[in-house]
Homo-oligomer: A and B are copies of this chain.
Amino acid sequence: MSVGAVPKTIEWIGGLEGHVVMIDQTRLPSELVMLECRDVQTMWHAIRQLSVRGAPAIGIAAAMGAVLGVRDCGGLDRDGFLKKLEEVCEYLASSRPTAVNLRWALDRLRRRASVYTSPRDSRVPRLTPGHDPTEIKQALFEEAKRIRDEDEAMCRAIGRFGEPLIRPGSGVLTHCNAGGLATACWGTALAPLYAAHGLGRSFHVFAGETRPLLQGSRLTAWELQQAGIGVTLLCDSMVGSLMKSGRVDLVITGADRIAANGDTANKIGTYAIAVLAKAHGIPFYIAAPSSTFDLATPDGSRIPIEERDPDEIRRGFGPLTAPPDVKCYCPAFDVTPAKLIRGIITERGIIQPVTKSRIASILREWPILPRNRAAKLKSCTPSLGE
C-alpha cells in the first residue's frame, strides 16, 4: 500500500548500507507495528512467523534478506562471496520451504550474480575468481529493489486497467486478501479500488471475512480502512443476503492459478461467490498478473486442491469450537469455471470474454510477453496466496 499516510508493506530504506522496514502483519488488525530488519536472521524470522505474507511480498522480503546477508561480508573474494550468497539463499529458503515465490526471488539473485562469472552482455565486466565482489553486491541490491519495483508496477497497471469498472457510488465485494499487504503496493484485486480512490471516486467495499484464516477481516478490512476507503465486513455466509439486498454491483477477487481455458483457482469461497453473483446478475472479475496463467493446465479439473489442517476449522482462533475429533472438509482453494468470470484484469489489460482462444491469442499478442512464455513464467512467479 502507499495511499495517503499508510506505510508501505515492505521497503528498503537508504542505500546498500540501509535496512528493511515492513508492516508486522502478525500484529494486525489490533495495532500497526513496523518491523525493522537489519540482518538476515531478523528477516528469516519475519518470513517464518508470517510478519510478511502473500507470495509477492515474501519474494521481495527474501531478495532483500539475501542482500542483508551478504553485504557485510568484507574481505571475501569473488568465489568466497558467491559461496556466502549460496549459504544465505539456502538459509532464507528454509524459512518457508513451500513458498514458491521465495525460491523464485532467490534464484533471480543467484542468476544476477552468475552474470559476473560468465557475462553474455559485453557491458558486464567478467570478474575473475579472486576479484573483489563489491560490484556484484551492488548489482544484487539493485536486483532486489527491481523485484520490488516490478511488483509495484504490476499492481499499478492492474489498478489502471481495472479502475474504470468501479463506478461512482457502487458497491464492490472482494474475498480474502489480494491487497497491498500481500504485495509491494496495491495488490491485485484491491488495485482497481486504490486506483479509483486515488482519482477521488467514491464507492464502498464489502469484505468477506474468509474463513478459516480470516484474511478478509484481519487484513483486507484493515488496509482499506487505513487507506480511507469505506469498507463493511461480513461473514462468508452473508454474501447471498447482501447481494439480494442490491448493494453489490461488482465482485473482484484475486487468483492463485488460472488454467488455459480461464478456470480460476482462488481462496476457498470464491466459487460460491461467483455462483451467487451469476444468480444476481452481478459481474464477477478476477484480477491477477499474467504470470498467474498456467497454460500447461488445460482446465480447472487439473488443478490440485490442497486440504488444510482441520483444526483451522475446529479451533478457529484458539478455543475449541467443535468436537475435537470431528471430521472436517477444509480445502484451501476452489475452482471457479471460466463461464462465471466476466473478465480477468491483468497488468496488460482486461481479458474478456474469458475463453481459451481469447486467453491464448491475447497472451500471444501482448508484445512484451514473448510467445509461449506465459506457461514458463508460471513456474517461477506464482501469484498471491497464503
Contacts and interface: CB of A to CB of B under 8 A. Distances in A.
Interface of A: 29-30, 206, 208-212, 214, 217-218, 221-222, 225, 230-242, 244, 268-269, 271-273, 275-276, 278-279, 310, 313-314, 316-324, 326-331, 334
B235 A212 contact: yes
A238 B321 contact: no
Given A313-B235, A317-B316, A317-B317, A271 B241 contact: yes
B268 A231 contact: no
A327 B319 CA distance: 25
B240 A329 contact: no
A321 B275 contact: no
A334 to B, nearest CB: 4
A294 to B, nearest CB: 20
A206 B329 contact: yes
Given A221-B322, A238-B330, 10 more contacts: A29-B323, A209-B211, A209-B313, A211-B211, A214-B316, A230-B327, A233-B326, A244-B271, A272-B276, A317-B321
Query: Which 3 residue pairs of A and B lie closest in terms of their CB atoms, listed nearest first?
Result: A240-B272, A237-B269, A217-B322
Contacts of A324: 29-30
Contacts of A237: 208, 210-211, 236-237, 268-269, 272
Q: Give this chain's copy count.
A: 2
21 contacts: A29-B322, A210-B237, A211-B235, A212-B235, A217-B321, A218-B322, A225-B326, A231-B327, A233-B327, A234-B330, A235-B313, A235-B330, A236-B237, A237-B268, A237-B272, A239-B272, A240-B273, A241-B268, A241-B331, A272-B276, A317-B318
A332 to B, nearest CB: 10
A118 B279 CA distance: 59
Contacts of A242: 329
A222 B327 CA distance: 11
A1 to B, nearest CB: 14
A48 B61 CA distance: 52
A327 B225 CA distance: 10
A107 to B, nearest CB: 33
A235 B331 CA distance: 10
A313 B244 contact: no
A322 B328 CA distance: 25
A317 to B, nearest CB: 4
Contacts of A316: 214, 316-317
Nearest to A231: B326
Contacts of A241: 268, 271-272, 331, 334
B29 A217 contact: no
A331 B240 CA distance: 11
B317 A232 contact: no
Contacts of A30: 320, 324
Among A237, A272, A316: residue with most chain B CB under 10 A? A237
Given A29-B323, A322-B218, A275 B234 contact: no
Contact of A209 (B217, B222, B231, B322): B322
A234 to B, nearest CB: 4
A146 B218 CA distance: 49
